[in-house]
Amino acid sequence: MIHLTIVHWLVLIFFLALFILLVVISKKETRRNVFWSMVFASFLVTTTAAVFSMFVLDKYTKKGKLLAIENHRILRSEEIVFKGRVQNVGKFEIGECRLTIKMINNPVESGKLSGSQIYQPSGFGDFFKSRKENKSRPNTVKREFIVAKYLEPNEVRPFTVRMHYPPYFSKTRLIYKLHCH
């Protein structure tokens, strides 16, 4: 669910007033079918504009920042632990921050690309294999974690998350993406 600020409420009130104004203007139409068509069109336009406005406002009013993140592997349980801090750098309260961690196994360097890494032959028999056999060793692992809820402006909150680390990964590249709303 979206966490609404005072700006969100003002925009919703604006679009509600616009819808009411359009309905009042369409009351001048004497034909009943045209009147209801105009009301329906007004509803669609104002609702669509309000929804897009909510997403745009959410993007620009709720800003989170990943301050520090470090990781270490636990070999016994084949896990990787991420510790860090997230800060609300905006002027409004944030409802929830999600951290997406993407691990890529041995990313290819541009000069060291071989043919077997680009093309892997397949045949007619591949259609009959189960999906588990085809994806037994994925080279990309992506997980999403909720790292903070209800962050006040300028508040910093620490977090710790764990995820499985595939034992066949080597020279792993980690990509972090923080999304707050």
Do 69 and 36 lie in a common domain? Answer: no
**Are residues 27 and 82 located together in one domain of the fold?**
no
Give residue-wise pLDDT tens across range 57-102. Answer: 888 888 899 998 999 999 889 999 999 999 999 888 898 999 999 9
**Is residue 96 in some structural domain?**
yes
Strand partners, 178: 99
94 and 166 fall within a common domain: yes
Q: Are residues 72 and 111 in the same domain?
A: yes
Residue 141 φ then ψ, to 5°: -125, 130
Do 56 and 116 belong together in one domain? no
Domain count of the fold of the chain? 2
101: in domain: yes
- What would the mean pLDDT of 18-36 be, rounded to a whole number? 92
Question: What is residue 107's predicted lDDT score, i.e. its pLDDT?
Answer: 61
State residue 116's pLDDT score. Answer: 52
Report yes or no on whether pTM surpasses 0.75: no
Token readout for 19 is 């819808």
Give pLDDT, residue 167. 87
Res 48 pLDDT > 60: yes
Query: Of 15, 43, 61, which residue sits at a domain end?
Result: 61
Instruction: Judge if 108 and 82 occupy the same domain.
Output: yes
Q: Are residues 106 and 56 in the same domain?
A: no
Tell me the C-alpha to C-alpha distance, in Å, between residue 132 and each of 16, 102, 126, 127, 137. Answer: 51, 21, 12, 13, 9
Same domain, 71 and 43: no
- Structural domain of residue 50, as residue ranges? 6-61
Residue 93 lies in a domain: yes
Q: Tell whether 84 and 57 lie within a shared domain.
A: no
pLDDT in tens, 100-146: 999 998 766 555 555 555 555 666 666 666 555 555 678 889 999 99
Same domain, 138 and 169: yes
Classify residue 1: in a domain, yes or no: no
Mean pLDDT of 37-60: 92
- List the CATH number of the domain containing 101: 2.60.40
Q: Could you identify the residue written with the tokens 């360097």?
A: 109
pLDDT of 109 reads: 55
